[in-house]
Homo-oligomer: A and B are copies of this chain.
């Protein structure tokens, strides 16, 4: 079976619909402009050094800038922030994205003040693969919202996690 077999793509899509992922907004600041994108493809990488990775589509508006920045922030969304997930997934809502709730300086990447967690990373490496790039960040600082109730995406729906 070749890697472009359409049935492999279809069955992979069906499999990934069955994977529950926490929803994040990845943010950067470039030339005084704040940018962000909703992403579920984020994973912890190592504790030594403390690090994570995010996968970003090379055809997204933010990809080129991600290759240039020194830092990015992974804003892990709380279950009550579904509206923010939708806003950063929809280009038509571009003008609304940073209106309120975010840090305003552009020295560091924007933090969502009330996020489930916000993790500022120094971008230290990236690997292109197919339509996407893997960006690796070493964690410099993380802040958390105490109550644990992250926003989860599974089977095309937003929801939460339960014991």
Contacts and interface: CB of A to CB of B under 8 A. Distances in A.
A45 B41 CA distance: 7
A55 interface: yes
A73 to B, nearest CB: 11
A154 B150 contact: yes
A68 interface: no
A144 B17 CA distance: 10
A38 interface: no
Contacts of A3: 49-50, 122, 138-140
Interface of A: 1, 3-5, 8-9, 11-22, 40-51, 53, 55, 76, 116-119, 122, 125, 127, 129-132, 134, 136, 138-145, 148, 150, 152, 154-155, 157-163
